[in-house]
């Protein structure tokens, strides 16, 4: 099986973890052990940010960032429904209401036009997602946030390696939240990072991740335990050195697929523009005017031939029982249509040129 994603782990990562284990320094009470501190410095450099705060999951990064920008009970946060549930989950955990807005059908990202329509007096923040590794349109969203005095928090969970006007994810946001889950372009197994250029947000995040403390046994604000372990950070330090190579290989595989699949007029292929370069976390195609059953049949046939095709995200968050029952229904036609038609194909660094061609040719033959 050619899996949809597969972490690339070498001997260097293994030895980095062994070194931490032998040191006996597995974590730090305030979340800032030597490996974590090194990882934060390296990640901030990669992201072009002043600060990077390492946490234990991407979900923790989202929740902590929303807390740090002041989202609280009774507030509203505008976000897409076409995303992994963690985006909305983090909003709900603050006590705020997730308000779902529709997507741009070309990019699958939050549409600035629908954001403006969703604004109310209770809106506190906007939470766009860089879906599949392609940046949300951050400048218009920044303008909306500034005009209305809102926080702009970017869900950059899938964004490692993308650029927006030549800059990494987070450049136009108050804070950007990254996942280091095992499937991501670089990973620490589980893990997350928040990047920011704000000294105040950075200071608040560091307290939130360790029980609201600046010093032990002296909580100044409400916090939790979101610390990243030294073992996770040790893996991350090695992975950071591999990011450029990983993204280059993903891009190469994406180009191979596109050259093959553009021969068929039944598909809409991933969009990329000169001012927004993809990280190619996922290669997502769309079956034009196809029914959900046709898409599902195609994926099942691909899996039968050893190709791990997947559909992200078949159940948009606004359709999930908890969110529908607690926050009401939403009319999101672009989201609903995309969920029935998109499917993703493997392009991770472990996919060889020969396998990429096999994937593309198999899709063509099945269509």
pLDDT at 197: 98
pLDDT at 25: 93
Q: Is 224 helix (H, G, I), strand (E, B) or coil?
A: coil
Q: What is the DSSP string of 278-306?
A: ---S-EEEEETT--HHHHHHHHHHHHHTT
The CA distance from 254 to 321, in Å, is 35
* Domain 11-238, architecture per CATH: 3-Layer(aba) Sandwich (3.40)
CATH 3.40.640.10 given to domain 243-366 = no
Return the closest-CA partner of residue 163 out of 256, 76, 272.
272
The CA distance from 86 to 179, in Å, is 11
The CA distance from 111 to 362, in Å, is 33
Extents of the domains making up the chain: 11-238, 243-366
> Using an 8 Å Cβ cutoff, are 191 and 165 in contact?
no
pLDDT at 289: 83
pLDDT at 31: 87
Is the pTM higher than 0.85? The answer reads yes
Which of the 8 DSSP states describes residue 266?
T
For the chain, how far is it from start to end, CA to CA, in angstroms? 20
Distances (CA, A) of 201 to 51, 53, 65, 68, 100: 9, 10, 8, 6, 25
Average pLDDT across each block of 10 residues of the chain; the chain has 367 residues. List them in order: 97 98 93 96 98 98 98 98 98 98 98 98 98 98 98 98 98 98 98 98 98 93 97 98 98 98 96 97 93 96 98 97 96 97 98 98 97
> Using an 8 Å Cβ cutoff, are 175 and 127 in contact?
no
pLDDT digits (tens, 9 = 90+) for 230-262: 999 999 999 999 999 999 999 999 999 999 999
């Amino acid at each position: 099986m050619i899996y949809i994603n597969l972490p690339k782990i070498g001997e260097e990562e293994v030895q980095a973890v062994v070194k931490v284990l032998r040191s006996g320094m597995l974590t730090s009470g305030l979340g800032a052990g030597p490996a974590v501190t090194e990882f934060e410095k390296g990640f901030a450099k990669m992201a072009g940010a002043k600060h990077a705060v390492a946490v234990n999951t991407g979900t923790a990064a989202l929740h902590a960032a929303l807390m740090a920008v002041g989202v609280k009970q009774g507030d509203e946060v505008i976000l897409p429904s076409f995303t992994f549930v963690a985006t909305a989950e983090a909003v709900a955990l603050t006590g705020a209401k997730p308000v779902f807005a529709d997507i741009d059908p070309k990019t699958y990202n939050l549409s600035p036009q629908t954001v403006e329509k969703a604004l109310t007096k209770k809106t506190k923040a906007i939470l766009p997602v860089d879906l599949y590794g392609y940046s949300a349109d951050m400048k218009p969203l920044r303008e909306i946030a500034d005009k209305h005095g809102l926080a702009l928090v970017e869900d950059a969970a899938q964004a490692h390696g993308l650029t927006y006007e030549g800059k990494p994810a987070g450049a136009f946001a108050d804070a950007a939240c990254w996942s280091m889950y095992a499937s991501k372009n670089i990973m620490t197994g589980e893990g997350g990072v928040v990047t920011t250029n704000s000294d105040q947000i950075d200071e608040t995040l560091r307290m939130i991740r360790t029980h609201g403390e600046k010093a032990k046994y002296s909580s100044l604000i409400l916090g939790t335990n979101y610390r990243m372990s030294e073992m996770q950070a040790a893996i991350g330090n090695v992975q950071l050195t591999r990011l450029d190579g990983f993204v280059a290989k993903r891009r190469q595989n994406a180009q191979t697929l596109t050259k093959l699949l553009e021969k068929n007029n039944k598909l809409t292929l991933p969009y990329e523009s000169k001012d927004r370069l993809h990280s190619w976390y996922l290669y997502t195609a769309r079956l034009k005017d196809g029914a959900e059953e046709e898409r599902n049949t195609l994926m099942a046939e691909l899996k039968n031939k050893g190709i791990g095709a997947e559909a992200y995200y078949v159940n948009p968050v606004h359709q999930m029982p908890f969110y529908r029952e607690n926050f009401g229904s939403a009319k999101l036609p672009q989201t609903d249509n995309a969920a029935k038609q998109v499917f993703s194909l493997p392009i991770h660094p472990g996919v060889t040129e020969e396998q990429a061609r096999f994937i593309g040719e198999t899709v063509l033959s099945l269509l």
